[in-house]
Amino acid sequence: MKKRVISIVLSAVMAAALLAGCASTGSSAPAAESAPAEEAAPAEEAAPSEEAAAPEAGAATYALITKSAGNPYNEKEAEGFQEVIDAMGGTCIIQHPEAATADAQIAVIQSLISQGVSSIAIAANDANALSAALQEAADAGIKICTLDSDVVADSRATFCNQAGVQEVGQALIDAVYDLTGGEGQYAILSATSQATNQNAWIDSMKAISEGDAKYAGLELVEVAYGDDEPQKSTDQTQALLQKYPDLKVICAPTTVGIAAAAKVLQDQGSSVVLTGLGLPSEMAEYIGADDAHSCPYMFLWNPIDLGRLAAYTSIALVNGDITGAVGDSFTAGDMGDYTLTGLADGSGSEIILGPPFQFNPENIDEWKSVY
């Protein structure tokens, strides 16, 4: 009997503490406000006093949620994001979830809702699982955009897409044009024959070269499929070299394919050169302008620029310059003007970063440790 009474008393005390501790929101809030805001963004040293004075411009808080901590690619995105927000005097919050899961990202989103941030930019760990949390954020008046990897279109305003099909196709065909010297045979080493993004890029390359007399001298001899397996990609590369003795360039728009082909070409000392889309960390030893290296330059996206674009997009959304509708346009600082385009399935809008970033002998050392 005594124990039951004690249990009830303990529970009551706990409930009371919860209620009493949390209920009084109004009075104590303003006093405590300044301290945590500074703790929240240690890097935000620029003019904290103005912020307190000018609630309109500076008081906005822009948050970025990455996929996981310790991910160098995400760190670079965060770096770009922070740079832009700091420059315009806003408060920047960069949060990494405790694990690379949607569940962990939800905890961060919920916390940011409590803090009443102005915008959230997020690299989603799952396309569907964040819907409910992002909807709650949107209901609380928070502007939401995604970058790097998207969520279902109706739970965000827009998506900062690092890889526009047209831009990738153009960059690749121009590289082939440059490396062949304007005419000659080239082959494409792709992933699988069903890979959506690969096929879109390859179709885009074909369409551009057919539509412009400039590329008339180029001859695409074969599209080979290495299925994104290192061994099969190696075999396919060797087969291409045997079948086409006059081959000048191999273009591999896949990170697995380009790494495998680079090794084959470099080991054999082949005169065929390579370009495509590759990871700097995997490709660093093959990139060089001389004959000892198989790949003069290649492409991928620049995560810093993607972070900066996400920051400008967040600012534009918060200021009301854009709403996320297709056709909206805004100026992203020194990155120029951007227009929101429709997704292929018509479900929402996206902003394409621009042409992919070129990795060449000059910058590869800086990037190989990044991703």
Partner 1 sequence: MAGKSGREISATPKGGITKILSWEGALILVFIAVIILGKSISPNYTLNNVLREMQKYLPEIFMMFGMGFILVLGDIDISVGSIVCLCATLTCIAANAGVPFILAALLCILIGTCCGMLNGFLATKFTELPTMIITLGTQIIFRGIAEMSLGSGGSVSYKNSKDIAVLAKKIGPFPISFFLVIILGVVMITVLSRTTFGRKLYAIGSNKTASYYAGIKVQRTRFLCYTILGTLAGLCALFLLSALYGANTTTGQGFEMEVIAMCVFGGIATTGGKGNLIGGLIAAFIIVCLRIALGQINMNTQLILVIIGAMLIVSVLIPQIKNALMPKKQKV
For partner 1, the binding residue among 46, 59, 88, 107 (CB under 8 A) is 107
22 binds partner 1 per the rule CB under 8 A = yes
29 binds partner 1 per the rule CB under 8 A = yes
Collapsing DSSP states into helix, strand and coil, what is residue 325? Answer: coil
For partner 1, the binding residue among 64, 78, 84, 113 (CB under 8 A) is 113
Which is closer to partner 1, CB of 98 or CB of 362? 98
Residue 82 CB, nearest distance to partner 1 (Å)? 13
256 binds partner 1 per the rule CB under 8 A = no
Q: Rounded to the nearest 10 degrees, how much is the dihedral formed by the CA atoms of 66, 67, 69, 75?
A: -50
CA distance readout (Å), 16 to 8, 10, 21, 26, 62: 12, 10, 8, 19, 35
Rounded-to-integer distance, Cα 223 and Cα 23, Å? 66
Strands 349-352 and 341-342: antiparallel
19 binds partner 1 per the rule CB under 8 A = yes
Other C-beta atoms lying within 10 Å of the C-beta of residue 228: 17
Residue 69 CB, nearest distance to partner 1 (Å)? 6
Which is closer to partner 1, CB of 36 or CB of 346? 36
Residue 36 CB, nearest distance to partner 1 (Å)? 5
Stretch that binds partner 1, among 31-39, 275-283, 347-355, 357-365 (CB under 8 A): 31-39
Stretch that binds partner 1, among 16-24, 45-53, 159-167, 223-231 (CB under 8 A): 16-24
Q: Which of residues 49-78 bind partner 1 (CB under 8 A)?
A: 69
115 binds partner 1 per the rule CB under 8 A = yes
Residue 49, amino acid: S
- Can you give the C-alpha Rg of the chain in angstroms? 25
Other C-beta atoms lying within 10 Å of the C-beta of residue 345: 7
Residue 113 CB, nearest distance to partner 1 (Å)? 7
Rounded-to-integer distance, Cα 62 and Cα 307, Å? 12
Residue 58 CB, nearest distance to partner 1 (Å)? 18
Stretch that binds partner 1, among 37-45, 243-251, 257-265, 283-291 (CB under 8 A): 37-45
329 binds partner 1 per the rule CB under 8 A = no
Which phi and psi (to 5°) does residue 128 adopt?
Answer: -105, -35
Residue 83 CB, nearest distance to partner 1 (Å)? 18
Strands 184-190 and 119-122: unpaired
Alpha helices in the chain, H assignment, sequence order: 2-23, 29-40, 48-53, 72-87, 102-115, 131-139, 165-180, 196-211, 230-243, 255-268, 280-283, 303-319, 364-367
111 binds partner 1 per the rule CB under 8 A = yes
Print the binding letters for residues 146-165 with partner 1: x by CB under 8 A, - otherwise: ------x-------------
Residue 59 CB-density burial (10 A; 0-12 exposed, 13-18 middle, 19+ buried): middle
Does residue 311 contact residue 331 with C-beta atoms inside 8 Å? no
For partner 1, the binding residue among 58, 80, 97, 226 (CB under 8 A) is 97
Q: By CB under 8 A, name the binding residues for partner 1.
A: 2-4, 6-7, 10-11, 13-14, 17-19, 21-23, 25, 28-30, 32-33, 35-36, 39-41, 69, 93, 95-104, 106-108, 110-111, 113-116, 125-129, 131-133, 136, 152
